[in-house]
Structure 1
């Protein structure tokens, strides 16, 4: 190998994979040893973390990924993917269109929730009781935004994904799989909101909060909470884009043509 080839090899050196003629290694494990023996969730963990999860860790991660796969065409990422699929751009472009909409407002709450739970745990570690730590941190968050990431849902009074996910976390804590600190932090926020909103519509934990608890308990840093959500939701994006390609529409817009107004209102009319 020449000096320039050595320099290029070092430029692209990575611990994630090692490829040579006739050899593919993922985190130093030959791919042929993983094929047929290791599930996709375990391989996701392996590539991100460098080792394989225990069966219980894998089950928790899989539950979180399953819970986030889809939320119907009212979700902007799904709607955009379906519209893109009718524009002649190809399935991969339709999926990319949907995934590219997963930003701070739509898709980022899991990452933000992990960051908030990290702050609460840090204050607890510094000596604050869970309710006090939750009160201090949520006050700081709400000084910057009216929303607390991971709590409340515009569509569901109670997110149906909350309880089964948190039940799994409770079981994992009882069995020593995870410590439960992030679970305690999230429950403290939920209780604080319940007390604040006595008599009003409750603001329980949603899918972003419940999966944030799981990702944080499993040791994933906050940015990967969003990355893992993107992996999860891309399954639903793909399914919707594929279904749309079979429905024969061209240039699908946000509303049916039959109810489009003859003239769209000007901005001063709105």
Structure 2
């Protein structure tokens, strides 16, 4: 039995990725987005694809003390020898609520916009949005891509995501449908839930015609860089112990906690 991959091979004197010699044809010639596209699609990205991929990677890098950053810092508190474990812990929570929801939005928009063309009227787009919202309400399923616990009056990232999408030719029926969903929620159902970043990123990936899984994948790649930064900061200015102490302080049963292991200076 032969086990192989079409992505890369290694011999004693040569490493190839999708048929290119990494030493003579890739290193020094590809940037990181080039490499993502080459390994994933066996082709180089168009410039407008690179622009959008960089936009998503940069946006996903960090949002402050999010659940992923807290998870990474607390894991580092318990295992400071394992950077990879702390980063992995931060990524494991990338699901339908945090970070991974752009995949859900992409899937929803691809399906929901199937009856539409880019020339569809506003009324047609609104009707598709209304049908989608009603479908989720009837099924009692959460609707991804709208609402934010902090940016209740509108996610400040959305105007930039939309503007860059327009500049690069990726603003069409999927973006219009996502925006119409927020309008329908507000005007038809009395739910003021503006678009969030996942809604914008999902619209971008739907417009680009990319696999929805890549919407989550690029988010994970970008967030990995942010988590490494959090761990480096945690080493110099620890907050993990403070977070743990805050949790302990909420429960009187932990008034005299037993600490195991050595505390870092």
TM-score, structure 2 normalization:
0.84
Q: Is the 2:73–2:240 contact (alpha carbons within 8 Å) kept by the matching residues of 1? A: no
Equivalence for 2:178: 186
1:148 match: secondary structure: coil
Return 21-30 or 78-87, whichever deviates more. Answer: 21-30
Q: Distance in 1 between matches of 2:30 and 2:180?
A: 37
Cα RMSD after superposing both structures: 2.5
Q: Is the 2:113–2:128 contact (alpha carbons within 8 Å) kept by the matching residues of 1? A: yes
Spell out the pairing of 1:32-111 with structure 2 (5 A cutoff).
32=23, 33-73=25-65, 75-89=66-80, 90-111=82-103
Q: Is the 1:152–1:205 contact (alpha carbons within 8 Å) kept by the matching residues of 2? A: yes
Return 140-149 or 163-172, whichever deviates more. Answer: 140-149
Number of residues of Structure 1 aligned to a counterpart in Structure 2: 248
2:187 to 183, 195, 214: 195
Structure 2 residue runs of 5 or longer lacking an equivalent are 256-265
1:167 matches 2:127: no
Q: Is the 1:82–1:94 contact (alpha carbons within 8 Å) kept by the matching residues of 2? A: yes
2:127 to 127, 132, 145: 132
Structure 1 pair 179–169 and aligned structure 2 pair: CA distance change class (3 A)? closer
Equivalence for 2:220: 230
Structure 1 pair 145–109 and aligned structure 2 pair: CA distance change class (3 A)? farther
1:123 match: secondary structure: coil
TM-score, structure 1 normalization:
0.82
1:142 to 134, 137, 140: 137
